[in-house]
Amino acid sequence: MDSNQIRKTFLDFFRSKGHVIVPSAPMVVKNDPTLMFTNAGMNQFKDLFLGNSPIKDRRVADSQKCLRVSGKHNDLEEVGHDTYHHTMFEMLGNWSFGDYFKKEAISWAWELLTDVYGLPKERLYATIFEGSPDENIDRDNEAYQYWKQFLPEDHIILGNRHDNFWEMGDTGPCGPCSEIHYDLRSDEERAALDGRELVNRGHHLVIEIWNLVFMQFNRKASGELELLPARHVDTGMGFERLCMVLQGKQSNYDTDVFQPTIRRLAELSGKVYGQDRRADIAMRVVADHLRAIAFSIADGQLPSNVKAGYVIRRILRRAVRYGYTYLGFNEPFICQLVDGLVRQMGEQFPELAAQQDLITKVIAEEEAAFLRTLATGINLLDNVIKKEQAAGSRVISGSEAFLLYDTYGFPIDLTELIAQENGMTVNGEEFSAELQKQKERSRNAAAVDTDDWVELFPIAESRFIGYDTLESDVRISRYRRV
Ligand code: ATP
Ligand code: MG
Ligand code: MG
Ligand code: MG
């Protein structure tokens, strides 16, 4: 099955179970102060769960464009380094608004995965909420009973609050969830080590594909839980992960969702995917980020210097940087991938086809500008390195690195990388001190947005914890709240 058929099969299945198929909401959120981007299928239905708007259809299904690069869900640092977290991805979902509950949600999920898609049962696992005695919430025995009709007991795993209890916020609807995991390992590997062990521990070949959330409680402002008058189901399945599983691959990037882009990238760069670890990461990053950027622009969010626009600009620059550093691109290249993406996804997402010219043009301009920045920065950095080396030093001072970062927009991790290639280091403590000084200078101008990527960890409350590689957001990758 190709990916378009996989998506269609999901929607057809739930249509056959009485669901109304609705279009994806925009990925860029314009009217919610707590959220910049849609990060789950349920976002567009928030008001239904909260009882703020009337329920028209009690059974709904869709494929929702999601972006997880800010706020509660930020997967950016994983992207490209692992093979199953994306910035932009499609979340397939089915909902019951006060209609069916656990029994149907579980048995339909099972029916779809095993009967319709034909997945082997012995590779599937389900997790259920283990309960929370402190809060007087029982183990989710109801879900356990339903799973037991399909799975042997040792494929049903108890999960904790963090993974198996979902809350919309500090107050409001919440409830236990049940996740479905799939073991992609070979028969030998599975015989050697039980997949059960790996579900909770985490393994790149034993991955979560579907989350079924059962909203049955309301959390009151006092923190107390009460039963909801109407119970709801909210599910989300990672479309790209499902494609990987169904196409017998071990990486989302080996599916037909990403392969056309990766092949084009290989053509343009003259590199072969699968031969060099760093080039592979770079190709995955570019193939992933292309989608995030193109879909944002299609939704009307252009790269800019503030809020959502800044997040998009930074994603684009991250892709350029990987392409520049590991794939040898020094001319705009991401813009050349847009027509392939539109050919592939334009039918399901007409906004993409409609905006193709704008998307291509905006990306080309952004790329060209950032490549110039990179070239300038690299020249300046060369001079700094020569100067330090002539003086017998092997360290680039924090103020020099900061000048490059602040005045020329040159990413600190690229400074580190180039320093490293020249047998030198960067004084990180000094750099962070400079950064903090600058933060204080501009504190008054800083807007606070609860889910704004830029303001997530206010510097004053953060502590320098050292460097991550290949990440340009110093505030996120190098600091933790104290
Ligand atoms: P994970 O534990 O793998 O990060 P999650 O528990 O954060 O996933 P949910 O919020 O439960 O994910 O979202 C529902 C489904 O969406 C997941 O089961 C998974 O298949 C998919 N998904 C979540 N995050 C991503 C991502 N960054 N890229 C691709 N698919 C994702
Ligand atoms: Mg996650
Ligand atoms: Mg999870
Ligand atoms: Mg989950």
Expressed in angstroms and rounded, the spacing between residue 385 Cα and the centre of ligand 2 is: 40
Span from the CA of 406 to the centroid of ligand 3 (angstroms)? 37
Task: Please give the number of the atom of ligand 1 that sits closest to the Cα of 242.
Answer: 20
Q: Does 451 have pLDDT greater than 50?
A: no
Write down the pLDDT at residue 443. 63
Joined tokens for residue 122: 């012995």
Interval between CA 69 and ligand 3 midpoint (Å) = 16
Query: pTM of the entire structure?
Result: 0.87
Q: Which residue is associated with the tokens 């099969």?
A: 9
pLDDT of 367-402, one tens digit each? 999 999 988 988 999 999 999 999 999 999 999 999
pLDDT confidence of 416, banded at 50, 70, 90?
Answer: confident
> Is the distance from CB of 243 to CB of 117 less than 8 angstroms?
no
Burial of residue 56, with CB atoms counted within 10 A of its CB: 0-12 exposed, 13-18 middle, 19 or more buried: exposed
pLDDT of 201 reads 86
Structure tokens at 83: 């093979």
Atom of ligand 1 nearest to the CA of 87: 27
C-alpha distances out from residue 419 to 233, 424, 465, Å: 52, 5, 20
- Range in 50-54, 78-82, 296-300, 356-360 with the lowest mean pLDDT: 50-54
User: Tens digits of per-residue pLDDT, 251-280?
Assistant: 999 999 999 999 999 999 999 999 999 999
**Ligand 4 centre distance from Cα of residue 181 (Å):** 10
- Residue 456 has which token pair? 């997530």
- Predicted ipTM > 0.95: yes
Distance 213 CA to ligand 2 centre (A): 15
Protein residue whose Cα sits closest to atom 19 of ligand 1: 238
Average pLDDT, the chain: 89
Q: Which of 86, 205, 211 to probe ligand 1 with, by most ligand atoms within 8 A of CB? A: 211
- 208, 241, 255: residue to mutate for ligand 1 pocket, most atoms within 8 A of CB: 208
Nearest to 449 by CA among 306, 317, 297, 313: 306
**C-alpha distances out from residue 236 to 155, 256, 317, 394, Å:** 20, 21, 30, 51
Calculate how far, in angstroms, residue 455's C-alpha sits from the geometric centre of ligand 3. 25
Distance 163 CA to ligand 3 centre (A): 6
What pLDDT shows up at residue 462?
Answer: 39
pLDDT band at 461 (very low <50, low <70, confident <90, very high): very low
58, 17 contact by CB (below 8 A): no
Lining ligand 1 with CB less than 6 A are 40, 68, 75, 85-86, 89, 91, 208-211, 236-238, 240-241
Residue 1 clears pLDDT 80, i.e. is over it: yes
- pLDDT tens across 89-119, in order? 999 999 999 999 999 999 999 999 999 999 9
Best of 63, 210, 241, 242 for a ligand 1 pocket test (most atoms within 8 Å of beta carbon): 241
